[in-house]
Chain A
């Protein structure tokens, strides 16, 4: 099965629990509920965008422009809020999603219609989108006092102790869990990534599926752009630089095949959560900030290696079972 969680996700879950246990031995405050809520808040945006990335990687593509489109959308709505504070928040949210869909659909068109390889396409649009951030903000920031309170406070507002940010992330998780595992189009996305030719032979429209994946990812990214600038109460030209690689890391750590065709929403959620823990715990256990980036990279690579080894062993077991059966 592709879409619903299985052994691999379960193993990864155990692995995460183990990591949490080890960290808490050294820093008992890591287990505080408050700290946990912080980690969830910190990983909410990563989880959302990583799910968009998942959809694209499953089709056999990749989107390197997510950080730039996030920044462009974020800057656009921040400027809008600064200059037209009377625009209601739900309109702002709709606008951020619309801009995201538009940016994503440009990627989709270039990949599916112009047939430019995804890496090249999104490298190009990454520069363009990032460049447009500079153009519209003219090199300046939009900082906290220039935003309305409703704008700035939205991600933090909580209901029953759970913030809007976490609610929205949960909503995206549930929506895309259903979309990818229970709908016809979701199945077709896995089909296209699993074997393009076979999918084409059963009458699936490859171009349509590719276009759709990039566009939907763009929509999520747009929403994430608003949430990001509101949460950090700042829109800068450098917002979220390097975030694209985090989303890809969350996918790969979560067991998504980088060549397409397999990967689950649950896996990606765990992957993003794992990365959140790593980032958070390094600060808590007082690792020097100079070392953090290198150690983060090392731990992510380590998780991927473990994942790959487990997978290989499973496959060998299956092969042995199969030759025994026949």
Chain B
């Protein structure tokens, strides 16, 4: 193992007592493209952030270039030769390519200490030539395409003389042609003996570009191997792993009448021709890759975004929902994906958050009924098992899982007939997840129609009565629960390439 540039051993990381990584091993050689594979929440991002110096591990060793090291800050990690290219490129749009590449490590003129722009520009041109990029060093980054920005990030990594380049979902915003281009660059890096850590949800990409893989699941190391010696089914098996059937509540709810019918719903640039029906007591799962357009469909139904064409029927009656307030009047509730940005008001306490959605119900002639407010918060807080020292506690002081429960309580308090949940268990611990799953089943049993948008395959399979799979803004397949398995769902989500 002489050319092993990096070895991470027994890495552990906890956040407020929640385990994110439990003894993960990871090693990579020079000149290797190494795919880091796992579901959302498996611990890939945490591991990569430890490597980039963003987080400090609670335990474990990192051996880099045959020396035991600690990356105490992103600067230290970068100087050591590790460059991370993030999901959304973190660049300065108003600055030129040269300025972006040399920000933080400007070259100074030795005699007078001033910045030497000419030298930096020449070096930038040399880097761009090396990557065979047709970009002018003076171009402002805001005028570049997403793909070109990624390339500039790669150039920046080279300028830092990076030994390891981390690419976290680099292709999620790229067109097929741009992806091809990125592959070319990755091969170029490989030929220059750089190590590349490649994170992607798209398995066909991993098979195309990676030499070696490591699989994580639930913060644990599952396995590794050469890409050439493994099949897609074996990888999927490792990623999903567990036998899930008994972990989910699996309550067979009586399915009633059609309550929501969506017909040829289209929003140009986001999704097209979306049609489905939802029944009382049904849990309808929406699966797809990040960017498949599921969230956009739900936001359009809830009146947050306007539709281009198509029709929505509730209880058989055609409706035109222009804003969330109208949607709520029709008995809809939408639990958004990002609880901190869209779901909660962090500076308010639990009580105020829970009752904000039903503020008309808890006020009489303009004045708030504080007793009723407390009663309702207690009722739903207990039902959903929010753990807090009091209902007056600020939501920003709660853990992620409890924040999510506050969002759930807030929307269940509106007594919806149709409940749309967008990634309700994203980034929360296993115990809270189980609680959330039980609540979902309980609600379905009460006859509430539920749409469950999730990128976690086990959750979709374990919870849904029916499953709709989306790919690039369109529905590719619909399954009933007995016909669905992880393999055919993933194939549908990846799209036409494999089916």
Contacts and interface: CB of A to CB of B under 8 A. Distances in A.
Interface of A: 1-2, 182-185, 187-188, 190-191, 194-195, 197-205, 257, 261-262, 318-319, 322-323, 326
B344 interface: yes
Contacts of B324: 200-203
B16 A326 contact: yes
Contact of A326 (B18, B370, B392): B18
Interface of B: 16-18, 302, 304, 323-325, 327-328, 334, 336, 341-349, 352, 356-357, 359-360, 363, 366-368, 370, 392, 397-399, 410
Contacts of A185: 366
6 closest A-B pairs by CB: A203-B325, A194-B345, A326-B17, A184-B363, A202-B357, A261-B347
Contacts of B399: 322, 326
B359 A188 contact: yes
Contacts of B357: 202-203
B347 A187 contact: no
A202 B336 CA distance: 11
B343 A184 contact: no
Contact of A187 (B336, B344, B352, B397): B352
A200 B370 CA distance: 23
B356 A182 contact: no
B368 A323 contact: no
B363 A202 contact: no
Given A1-B392, A194-B348, A195-B344, A187 B16 contact: no
A323 B17 contact: yes
A183 B363 contact: yes
B259 to A, nearest CB: 20
Contacts of A326: 16-18, 399
B368 A197 contact: no
Given A2-B352, A184-B366, A197 B341 contact: yes
B356 A191 contact: yes
Contacts of B327: 203
Nearest to A178: B367
A185 B363 CA distance: 10
B346 A201 contact: no
A204 B410 CA distance: 14
Which of A191, A194, A199, A202 lies at the interface centre, i.e. has the most chain B CB atoms within 10 A of its CB? A202
Contact of A190 (B325, B348, B366): B348
B356 A184 contact: no
Contacts of B343: 198, 201
A194 B328 CA distance: 21
A201 B343 CA distance: 8
Given A194-B345, A201-B302, A322-B397, 14 more contacts: A1-B349, A2-B347, A183-B366, A190-B345, A195-B344, A198-B336, A198-B343, A198-B344, A201-B343, A203-B324, A203-B327, A318-B397, A322-B398, A326-B17
B348 A184 contact: no
B304 A200 contact: yes
Contacts of B323: 203
A195 B346 contact: yes
B366 A201 contact: no
Contacts of A1: 349, 392
A323 B302 CA distance: 37
Nearest to A190: B348
13 contacts: A183-B363, A184-B363, A187-B352, A187-B359, A188-B359, A190-B352, A191-B348, A191-B356, A195-B346, A200-B304, A204-B325, A261-B347, A262-B347
Given A2-B352, A201-B336, A203-B324, A194 B347 contact: yes
Contacts of B334: 201
